[in-house]
Amino acid sequence: MGRPLLESIFAGIAPTILYDEPLSMHTTWRIGGPADVLIVPTTLEEVRTVVLTAHANQIPLFIIGRGSNLLVMDGGMRGAVLKLGDKFASVDVSDHSLTALAGRSIVSAAHIAIRHGLSGLEFATGIPGTIGGAVTMNAGAHGGEIKNVLAKATVITPAGTITELFPDELEFRYRHSIVREQHLTIVQAQFDLQPGDSNQLQEKVRTWSKRRLATQPLSLPNCGSVFRNPPGDFAARLIENAGLKGLRRGNAMISELHANFIVNVGQARATDVLWLMCCVQETVQQRFGIRLEPEVRIVGEDETRR
């Protein structure tokens, strides 16, 4: 679908509409070709209008937040990309619950909860994503998961219906929910938390933060963990024991600090990241008989198809 037609369809639908926008500007890996159109809404009604418009015109719609846990191919993405970011990020704390719009950083929400003396979200202080992304993938760390604290999520269906879903309806499992399969758009989440001591919670988070700084390559663009941990083991241990730390393809490299991170050391391309991922899978399979499954989501088109 050409730009003139997209402009006529989406004109005035939100304050920020960008055409042929490089998605490398909107992913934590700093990798990715252009989106045909990228729309940044500021209100719930704008989000609903974008969803309805895309559905009515049979235009593919993809939702992003901070673009973590995402590898966008070098050819970019056709159709519309809806970005729920800082303009869609209000948060409210009441009694023992925290409610936030989907564009809010999950790290920020967790710190707000801690400052209010609420426990339950502190595990998320190291997860580089938004509320919407965290709910969509049932994000977790340090033994905690979104499914354990989520009270309900507000979603928009492809037909534009706004409804609330409870954890059992989202069918959470390890790094998964039904959000993508049902083409739902998470717009808000409410978390049920417990009273906690702010000082103790902050000390726990500081300890975790120091460990991350010492063991993860946070100074270089990355997407977090690339592969899921197989049952009873750790992907990083397997990759390291396979001798793959430091392996490089172009400007993409398996981190020498943490083997389950692939870092962008320059102008890395998605094809280089994919090459490394395939190399990891094949080598670990040959050495240990274990097939590592990607945790990162791969989307978009090869550059040759654009």
Active site residues: 175, 225, 295
How big is the chain, counted in residues?
Answer: 306
Count of alpha carbons within 13 angstroms of residue 246, beta-carbon side: 3
Cα–Cα dist 219/199, whole Å = 27
Long-range interactions of 92-101: CB distance < 8 A, separation 24+: 93/118, 96/192, 96/193, 96/194, 96/195, 97/151, 97/190, 97/191, 97/192, 97/193, 98/190, 98/191, 98/193, 99/188, 99/189, 99/190, 99/191, 100/131, 100/188, 100/189, 101/44, 101/131, 101/187, 101/188
Orientation of helix 106-115 relative to helix 198-215, angle to 10°: 150
Amino acid at site 88? F
Task: Kindly state the tokens that stand for 230.
Answer: 């197989």
140-141 and 144-145 beta bridge pairing: antiparallel
Long-range interactions of 161-170: CB distance < 8 A, separation 24+: 162/44, 162/48, 162/187, 170/135
Count of CB atoms within 10 A of residue 287's CB?
13
Cα–Cα dist 162/149, whole Å = 22
Three-state SS at 105: strand
Count of CB atoms within 10 A of residue 211's CB?
12
DSSP state letter for 143 = T
Cβ(189)–Cβ(172) under 8 Å?
Answer: no
